[in-house]
Chains A and B, each alone.
Chain A
């Protein structure tokens, strides 16, 4: 196979193919960036949601959990935790979150442990708002079931 291909042909495939892929990729990137506000319902992204995201990062939540399938696989997916633990009811979910965050770490021997992050009530509510907002993003129907 390779006998028929010369070095300069291979070189041209590399530069030509690479440039083509890169240009197409950047073109699609441009389009995606334009579509994201609508797909993520950016108008609903309140100050509280943004503050919740900052808390998510500050406490390195992604080091144990996945969010929309990305992160670590040590703890449950949280992209649909609003539906799973709050039955899509905002006040029920917020109440659940306040109780849950306060009770960590659970005193069950050798269960995987979630640290106590000592968040204030306002911060837990911001985290809830962030997770509620995230759960409504158009993810092409992922995850396939409620268990995430």
Chain B
């Protein structure tokens, strides 16, 4: 560790991983409720389980991004963080707000929660992924603004690099697009249209900038490849991201009441969305091939390569599967969307967090050469368990989606939603089993943190 203030990243990483365990746990509970409708009902209805599942995901990714920034910004800027104290304060504020919100979801009926949290003053609740009560949303703004100020000040006062510029661009746009969360139009169609400005432009534009910056940083560190070379790749990747991703928002506008021209624009632009992810694979693997140093932390590079591959599969391949308007006519709003959502969030954002944690955590724990061989072997096992689990889960959901489409939307002998779902139960059982494998993989990953250091490394 070059700068002591990088230490503030540690609680962010740990908390992100704890939230990930919770996120997967609630996913498993949902998988069971898919099969047994009485499970946990009426104690925790499905919508509450789902809210906890998706909100934990979003918050854990934000914690991961913050941890990553606090770790890499001082090193890139070649100076201490502007205010480590502020970073610690915002950690506790964010953690407390997050926990309070989840408890609110679990113990207060949602309609009552809207009343308790002044939703009538400024209605913001009840939209997918943006379910948070008003005080939580304001808290998120406060935390994100202080985070951005902290990072920006550090960058301004220190060395400027492409990595920090790209990261900051991502952060500023992310904050700007979140403001849409405070406005719910009375017209459902305008509401749906604008809602994507937060949701799509986070996931398929601003977050990808942040992802690119973190990936570039780790690759610089573990491969020792010349920075100029890596910068060029980073620019190319994010150029493709911006060109395809921004207009690619159009693939959400096909069938929600927006004009016809989105059928063309959305299809064409988003057909190019796999490109940046394909470049990312070329990037990670060619940097690994041309590496100038043999870093002892082999797992960091493994995760980096894994991120590129899994993000390409989840966001690129599974996105392309249903992004053309004529195909989307049949796939829109089915389990196929869920399949794509699961693999892309995991492949791009959960894996980049594993990448930076695997690189930075050993250093933060006083192991500059990475964890011991034994710990890394266990970590590699967890890598495969989680990846195979997520692929199996995604293939199950894809199968479920195709069955659902054939039942409800193709031919003349149509089956209604509930009967179709009942006939898919076997596939949902397989999905649950793969979910369990992912969870077991995460537990194995946690266990790798507690493998005792070998003697020669301590010496």
Q: A145 and B409: CB pair below 8 A? A: yes
A17 to B346, CA, bound (A): 28
Contacts A73-B333, A73-B335 given; does A17 touch B190 at CB 8 Å: no
Q: Is A72 an interface residue (CB 8 A)?
A: yes
A58 partner, pick from B126, B332, B338, beta carbons under 8 A: B126
A126 to B256, CA, bound (A): 21
Closest to B39 in A: A110
Number of A residues, CB within 8 Å of B: 72
Q: Which residues of A contact B259 (CB under 8 A)?
A: 31-32, 35, 39
Q: Which residues of B contact A21 (CB under 8 A)?
A: 242-243, 245-247, 269
Number of B residues, CB within 8 Å of A: 78
Question: B337: shortest Cβ distance to chain A, in Å?
Answer: 7
Most A CB contacts (10 A, CB to CB) among B333, B334, B414 go to: B333
A45 to B253, CA, bound (A): 21
Q: B193 and A32: CB pair below 8 A? A: yes
Contacts A18-B243, A76-B417 given; does A134 touch B47 at CB 8 Å: no
Question: A78: shortest Cβ distance to chain B, in Å?
Answer: 10
Q: B243 and A11: CB pair below 8 A? A: no
User: Using a CB-CB cutoff of 8 Å, which residues 118-138 of chain A contact chain B?
Assistant: 130, 134, 137-138
Q: Which residues of B contact A35 (CB under 8 A)?
A: 258-259
Q: Is B210 an interface residue (CB 8 A)?
A: no
Closest to A134 in B: B188
Q: B187 and A45: CB pair below 8 A? A: yes
Q: Which residues of A contact B243 (CB under 8 A)?
A: 17-18, 20-21
Q: Is B456 an interface residue (CB 8 A)?
A: no
Q: Is B111 an interface residue (CB 8 A)?
A: yes
Q: B186 and A22: CB pair below 8 A? A: no
Q: Is A139 an interface residue (CB 8 A)?
A: yes
Q: A148 and B239: CB pair below 8 A? A: no
Closest to A6 in B: B232
Q: Which stretch from B20-28, B29-37, B84-92, B299-307 is at the chain A interface?
A: B29-37
Q: B235 and A73: CB pair below 8 A? A: no
Q: B238 and A14: CB pair below 8 A? A: yes
A11 to B166, CA, bound (A): 11
User: Using a CB-CB cutoff of 8 Å, which residues 1-51 of chain A contact chain B?
Assistant: 2, 5-7, 10-11, 13-14, 17-18, 20-22, 24-25, 28, 31-33, 35-37, 39-40, 42, 45, 50
Q: Which stretch from B6-14, B260-268, B385-393, B433-441 is at the chain A interface?
A: B260-268
The 9 closest A-B pairs by CB, nearest first: A63-B47, A57-B126, A69-B333, A142-B255, A10-B235, A18-B242, A14-B239, A112-B37, A76-B417
- Using a CB–CB cutoff of 8 Å, the interface residues on chain B facing chain A are 33-34, 36-38, 41-42, 45-48, 50-51, 110-111, 114, 119, 123, 125-128, 131, 184, 186-193, 228, 231-233, 235-236, 238-239, 242-243, 245-247, 249-250, 253-263, 265, 269, 329-330, 332-335, 337-338, 407-409, 414-418, 420-421
- Using a CB–CB cutoff of 8 Å, the interface residues on chain A facing chain B are 2, 5-7, 10-11, 13-14, 17-18, 20-22, 24-25, 28, 31-33, 35-37, 39-40, 42, 45, 50, 53-54, 56-64, 66-77, 105, 109-113, 115, 117, 130, 134, 137-148
Given contacts A2-B232, A25-B246, A112-B46, 12 further A-B contacts (CB under 8 A): A7-B231, A11-B235, A17-B242, A18-B242, A28-B250, A40-B190, A57-B184, A63-B131, A64-B47, A70-B128, A112-B37, A144-B330
